[in-house]
Chain A
Amino acid sequence: MTVEIHDGTRWQPVCSLDDLQPGRGVAVLLPPADTQVALFLDRSGALYAVDNRDPFSGAHVLSRGLLGSRSGRPTLASPMYKQTFDLIDGRCLDEDTAPDGTPAVLRRWPVRAAAADCAAAADSPNPRNSRKEERA
């Protein structure tokens, strides 16, 4: 199974479902603008994708947060200052606004696990990998 994130225009393959560990996340670089997305799998097999940027610290660390639940809703706790976000609507449950005055809401990205036959797309040349070779 391939995990795909919808970037607003199309579904982009980002990794294999096997790359994910229930309860934890990974960071994804979404072309073309190198947008950072935090991708999670929970114990029940549900996938979530939200901004990787923590609005309270400005650091791109939310993929390293802990999944959990609050009053039955799935949540994500930031590893930096421990604010908890609702994974369904992206809202911060602890504080309404970030220190810079913007609303503390994470963008949610549509995410799905696609069957293996769609995975061909994932094998196409990965822009990230080719760039890495240029650097070397």
Chain B
Amino acid sequence: MTSHPAEPPEPPLDLVLVGHGMVGQRFLEAWTEQPGARRRRVTVLAEEPRPAYDRVHLSSLFDGRTPEDLTLCPPGFLAEHGIELRLGDPVTAVDRAARTVTTRSGARLRYDDLVLATGSAPFVPPVPGRDAAGCHVYRTVEDLDAIRADATRAVVAGGGTGIVVGGGLLGLEAAGALRATGLTTHVVEFAPRLMAVQVDEGGGRLLRRRIEELGVTVHTAAAASGVATGPDGAVRGLLLSDGRELAADLVVFSAGVRPRDRLARDCGLAVGPRGGIVVDEHCRTEDPAVLAIGECAQAADGRVYGLVAPGYQMAETAARALAGRPGPGFTGADTSTRLKLLGVDVASFGDPHGTAEGALDVLYSDGRLGVYRKLVIGADGALRGGVLVGDTDAYGTLRALATAGRPLTVPPEQLVLPAGSAAAGPIALPDDAVLCSCHNVTQGAVRAAVHEQGCESVAAVRKCTRAGTGCGSCLKQLTTVVTEELAATGAEVGTGLCEHFPQSRAELYEIVLVTGITTFSALVDRHGTGEGCDICKPTVASILASLSNGHILDGEQAALQDSNDHFLANLQRNGSYSVVPRVPGGEITPDGLIAIGEVARDFGLYTKITGGQRIDLFGAGVDQLPAIWARLVEAGFESGHAYGKALRTVKSCVGETWCRYGVQDSVGLAIELELRYRGLRSPHKLKSAVSGCARECAEARSKDFGIIATSAGWNLYVGGNGGTTPRHADLLAADLDRETLIRTVDRYLMFYIRTADRLERTSVWLERLDGGLDHLRAVVLDDALGIAAELDALMARHIDSYQDEWAATLADPDRLRRFASFVNAPGTPDPAVTFVPERGQIRPARPDEDGHVLPAPAPVLVAGPRLEVLAK
């Protein structure tokens, strides 16, 4: 300690933040990370009644999210850092001479430093009637609550129409929200196209068509001239500048935003010509005690940024400046954007309008596919910017090229054409283009890893450069670059499965089919090398299971399975397992539910409903699995194959049996399909669903095969996917009768199993398949390859030889032997697998927690979670 006890401690300086929006919160986070942050007392004065929330995702409140889901202020954050937050008490005046602020409630606070983060306000055109009941803006949780209330009233009263004034980014967001409430939706845009700031005329035209296909009516080059009101003073319609009147129950103004700079104006601080508090590159105003950040500020480059990323950069800049460690400062930001509006992908980057002298456009447009790409090429041959609508996959590559700003090394048309953009994209990147933004790894660094440091695989490059080890979103591009570079060095880049097999999975399948080989040893000895690995062993196990259908734990096959298949359960993070009994079609009797509940209760397991309409039981030790399954099998359940690359579930809606809208028995069909394909081993997991009408409540089009009822039969959709790369399934055949439907699915599945790569979902397989959907149709419906009979026979064999893996395991002492926690102490639970109670159930203990080992099950039934009894 250096201070003398006699000296009074220095009084802390007062830092006052005005506004607790996204940028305000980021400022607080950045500030608390600064050395010496504790020496200032921080007070936040906020206008809204709730702490900072994610305004960017405001529309998700219409998808069932709650305001709490959107909060950005972690619990305990304010208390931990001694920050005082006063909600609902905005600042009304600043006295710079006295260094005080006054709030609406009359409080006066002294400041040493003042940070203004008041954001922006929606611009409402000054048209008559704009304050009528039913007129809204789209900025806060309260705004959305009000919109929802009006919309619900209108929809309940029978229909209802909502109009959004403004066809920009926020306007289209709002239109999506109105549409989601069930309102007939119109968008009125003053400019001749939608999203005029970001996209050009061609992109705007395509965007408009895609949005109109969703049932939203778009009026461009039209201004709102007044709001028509009824005798009750509420909105009745919107008057347009061309004389038309659109009937409406509510109007949302979303025609841009204006910086909220009134506090600064009133205390004499300079503001820009179009608003925005003037700040320097460290976000200080002309008064060094006052800073401004985010949308209320005009940055050092003279621009007001309406995006959150530049606001965040300003927040961090201001925090550093206040801590006395000014860094490079904020001198402007890239406003490239990529987003999904009403389900349509839109991106723009660099200079999308080609404003620079001598700039030329390269265009590709395919109205059929709904894809539009425009690149702006500078006079020097460098990529300057562009617009992408409908397909934004190339955004990362193209944006990196545009920021690099050097002449292109490939003809620009290659970058916009569908095949060209993918093939030529990565290799066309300059070496200083950043591939992995998490760890800031450039393409040059990746190439050097291959050429100079001898990395021979993506794994080696990841290890060496850390590229792709953050969020992982660059992995696809990284793999392409590494493969290209390896090929360039002359290294052989095979399509082989792994170092042990030069063949692809599909080729191995053909070998097994033709030779009748039944063991991994025989296959690797005759057609491969070495001992195998965690890639080829499970793959071969899956092929053997698809073709010969013996029990997967029999003989040598047992040694090939991934841990999950080996124990017929799903490994969880602490080494325990979860168990999922099959619930075909999601239909379950009360007795079945009770049986599952009793098993979970007696073994003290954590229970959770899955997305596939089943029940997952967590926390089982390996040695508990047979006892758990003995109870489940006795109650009539069988393995749900949640652990396998196999059919998982066939989800269903309740269908015509109960539903007022259903036109077919979706539950019955789902059960029939699930029982038909259960246990079918495949290159990756398979999911399915059956919807009883076009409302599609079972989400069949996000499945590997999905069926939607029509009044004339069944529509079959294939190649859908959810997860990270969602894909809507394609219609393979329409209005099929039940028999044709099942035969078609049989062939589709067997053809996929036969030709797909390892871990290739049907969505990827279908996109890769030569000839695509037409070819698939020709194979499964018209037998173009002459293999239909063979595919049918393989499926028949699968169905005939199906047995429940768990019932068969329980009946065989040899197979049961593996379910021992320790070979020299079977029945002793793993002492490292411990649990703590949470919300009335168990969860794995974290390393710093003192958890309890789940005890071996006792034969007596004890009510209540067992752990509660044990808890200290």
Which A residues contact B (CB, under 8 angstroms)? 14-15, 19, 21-24, 26-29, 34, 36, 39, 42-43, 53, 57-61, 64-72, 74-75, 77, 79-80, 82, 84, 94-96, 126, 128-129, 131-132, 135
Contact = CB atoms under 8 A, between A and B. Distances in A.
A132 B574 contact: no
Contacts of B338: none
Nearest to A95: B463
Contacts of A132: 825, 827-828
B823 A24 contact: no
A36 B532 contact: no
22 contacts: A28-B822, A28-B824, A43-B521, A59-B574, A59-B833, A60-B575, A60-B830, A61-B571, A66-B532, A66-B534, A66-B538, A66-B560, A66-B563, A67-B531, A68-B533, A69-B532, A75-B533, A77-B533, A94-B459, A126-B824, A128-B828, A131-B825
A26 B820 CA distance: 8
A131 B824 CA distance: 12
Given A60-B830, A128-B828, A79 B563 contact: yes
7 smallest CB-CB distances across A and B, nearest first, come from A23-B559, A79-B563, A128-B825, A77-B534, A68-B533, A59-B575, A69-B531
Interface in B806-844: 817-818, 820-825, 827-828, 830-833
Given A57-B573, A58-B847, A59-B575, 15 more contacts: A24-B566, A43-B521, A61-B575, A64-B571, A66-B560, A67-B559, A68-B500, A70-B533, A75-B533, A77-B534, A79-B563, A126-B824, A128-B822, A128-B824, A132-B825
A38 B122 CA distance: 64
Q: Which of B499, B533, B556, B824 has the most CB of A within 10 A?
A: B824
Given A61-B563, A65-B563, A95-B463, A14 B824 contact: yes
Chain B contact patch, size range = 35 or more
B827 A68 contact: no
Given A34-B831, A69-B531, A84-B533, A59 B824 contact: no
A80 B532 CA distance: 18
A71 B558 CA distance: 24
B48 interface: no
B567 interface: yes
Interface of B: 459, 463, 499-500, 521, 530-534, 536-538, 556, 558-560, 562-564, 566-567, 571, 573-575, 622, 817-818, 820-825, 827-828, 830-833, 847, 856
B620 to A, nearest CB: 14
Contacts of B538: 66
Given A42-B531, A69-B533, A70-B533, A79 B823 contact: no
Nearest to B576: A59
Contacts of A68: 500, 530-534, 536-537
Contact of B558 (A14, A24, A29): A24
Contacts of B567: 64
A27 B571 contact: no
B561 to A, nearest CB: 8
- Report whether over half of chain B's contact residues are helix, strand or loop; otherwise say mixed: loop
Contacts of B531: 42-43, 67-69, 74
B861 to A, nearest CB: 18
Q: Which of A43, A66, A82 has the most CB of B within 10 A?
A: A66
A27 B822 contact: yes
A55 B770 CA distance: 43
Contacts of B562: 66, 79
B571 A79 contact: yes
Q: Which of A53, A60, A84, A95 has the most CB of B within 10 A?
A: A60
Given A23-B556, A27-B823, A53 B832 contact: yes
Nearest to A25: B823
A88 to B, nearest CB: 13
Nearest to A24: B559
Nearest to A23: B559
Given A59-B832, A67-B531, A68-B534, A80 B823 contact: no
A22 B558 CA distance: 10
A64 B643 CA distance: 14
Contact of B824 (A15, A23, A80): A15
Given A59-B574, A69-B533, A64 B566 contact: yes
A97 to B, nearest CB: 10
A96 B833 CA distance: 26
A112 B67 CA distance: 62
A75 B537 CA distance: 13
A107 to B, nearest CB: 16
Nearest to A14: B824
Contacts of A14: 823-824
Contact of A60 (B536, B537, B825, B832): B832
B463 A96 contact: yes
Contact of B573 (A15, A27, A59, A71): A59
B530 A69 contact: yes
Contacts of B500: 68-69
Q: Which of B534, B538, B856 has the most CB of A within 10 A?
A: B534
Contacts of A15: 823-824
Contacts of B532: 66, 68-69
Q: Which of A21, A24, A64, A84 has the most CB of B within 10 A?
A: A64
Contacts of A70: 499, 530, 533
A105 to B, nearest CB: 15
Contacts of A21: 558-559, 818
A23 B575 CA distance: 20
Contacts of A67: 531, 559
Contacts of A74: 531
